[in-house]
Amino acid sequence: MQQFEIQLRGGGCGKAKPILKVEENLIIGVPKDLLIKLENQINIINTKATLLVDPQQRNEVIIAIQWFIYNREHLNTFCVNQNLTQLIYTKSLNSARDLLKILPVYLRSSWFLCYQVLQICNDFLRIIYSFQIQNEGREMELTMQQELLQDVEEIKQSQILNKQIYGVQEQNMKYLL
């Protein structure tokens, strides 16, 4: 139902203007369906990670990563607005955890895609950090901290292993040439 603003003028004349309802999301520039699309893109990045050999699957992952690059400004908006930060905190925490768990697969498959996924993780971690800063009484659960640190340590070990494998391959190429 549309509401009108009625203004009376002298002589019995009046006019009515419709009151436009502008949603808060549009005021701050965040699209309505951003959270739904965010979940879909995270799902694509997680599920297609093991299928990167197939060019079609790889292209879908690249498109999902591009979506995050194009929407990075909106993710930064979540860091600034306290209400929005609270809205997306749990989703950001779960998404960061999921991406950190799948990161070793990207590290083995493509260093470039791994770097891009790390950038997405950084965006989510920035939202988490903003939430922690804005809410002084809010502390991350100890189990969650340990889980994230364990995931980061696994990524470090995978990186060291991949560097060693790459170094051996490079030395073998020198000897062959």
Please give the pLDDT value at position 175: 57
Q: What is the rounded CA–CA span in Å between residue 143 and residue 87?
A: 22
CA dist., res. 56 & res. 65, Å (int)? 14
26-30, 79-83, 126-130, 142-146: least confident range: 26-30
Q: How confident is the model at residue 22 (pLDDT cuts 50, 70, 90)?
A: very low
Ramachandran angles phi, psi of 17, nearest 5°: -115, 135
Whole-prediction pTM: 0.70
31 - beta bridge partners?
A: none
Instruction: Express each pLDDT in 28-65 by its tens digit.
Output: 667 788 889 999 999 999 999 888 888 899 999 999 99
Of 75, 69, 124, 126, the residue nearest 100 (C-alpha): 124
Specify the higher pLDDT residue, 171 or 43.
Answer: 43
Residue 163: count of CB within 10 angstroms of its CB? 10
**Mean pLDDT, rounded, of the chain:** 80
Residue 125 tokens, joined: 């971690």
Percent of the chain whose predicted confidence (pLDDT) is above 90? 24
> What values do phi and psi take at 29, rounded to 5?
90, 10
What one-character-per-residue DSSP string does 5-49 give?
A: EEEE-GGG-EEEEEPPP--HHHHHT--TTHHHHHHHHHHHHHHTG
